[in-house]
Amino acid sequence: MVSATNTPIKDDLVVGILGGFGPYATSEFFRRIVEHTPAETESDHLRVIIDSNPKAPSRTRAAIHGGDSPVPAIRRSLQVLEAAGVDFIATPCNSVHYFFDDYVDAVQIEVLDMLAIAHAFVVQSMPQVRRLAILGTATTVVKTLYAPYFDENHTRLDYGADALQSDVSAVIEATKQGRPGAELSLALSRLLMEFKGRGNDAALLACTELSLIRLHPISDLPVFDTMEIWARAVVSKAQSRGSR
């Protein structure tokens, strides 16, 4: 699903993006969709409608600490996108999928399970992976969001020790504040080296904020980027809906 081709996209197809989790990640997701769309002219690009709602309650506070649920706000945004005429909806956020079963029925159109897409890409690209580092928010880690997907492949997921997860969370929070510079690039590279030292075969950047950070190559450690996987998947999905 994630292999983009040069198949032209229907002129009337519209992609919906449920965003705002956070705004920087949403804008980067759109940029990558544009980047991966095979277009010779401006009109060859996808029509995209984005509902970026950073006002929805925190996913982490709701999932971990019992705070207000973001589900009502998410359901309203999905319905706004459906009413706008989108053909399917993508959400560039890992942790929001903790609530997936609570909001997916808010609309009649397809809402993509982005975690399933990431899982399929990893196992297709690296079927021999047996230990995979997961770098994500507290919701993704504590609630082990990827476990139901990778259990069937007998892949052990490594979230790191508490101190390591704390460092991952700090990098994510700094990126949300708009500071993905050289210092964070070095910090993320060091974290990946630590995960490599724990015996992992590969790492999954399971927070789209991490995708905003320029990554220094980590020798012998494949790194999968959910943002990149999903952007390519959206283009492929649009192409699969039929050509002009």
Mean pLDDT in the chain?
A: 92
Domains in the chain: boundaries: 14-113+229-240, 115-225
Task: Categorize the per-residue pLDDT at 177 as very low, low, confident or very high, splitting at 50, 70 and 90.
Answer: confident
pLDDT digits (tens, 9 = 90+) for 108-142: 999 999 999 999 999 999 999 999 999 999 999 99
Task: Please check whether the domain covering 115-225 is classified as CATH 3.40.1360.10.
Answer: no
**Which of 2.60.120.10, 2.30.36.70, 3.40.50.1860, 2.60.40.420 would CATH assign to domain 14-113+229-240?**
3.40.50.1860
Identify the pLDDT of residue 244: 44
Which amino acid makes up residue 174?
Answer: A
> Given strand 223-225, what is the order of strands in its sheet?
156-158, 131-135, 202-205, 223-225
pLDDT digits (tens, 9 = 90+) for 196-237: 999 999 999 999 999 999 887 766 899 999 999 999 999 999
Dihedrals φ, ψ of 201, to 5°?
-80, -25
How many Cβ atoms are within 10 Å of 152's Cβ, its own excluded?
A: 9
Equal fold, 14-113+229-240 vs 115-225: yes
Classify 141 as helix, strand or coil.
helix
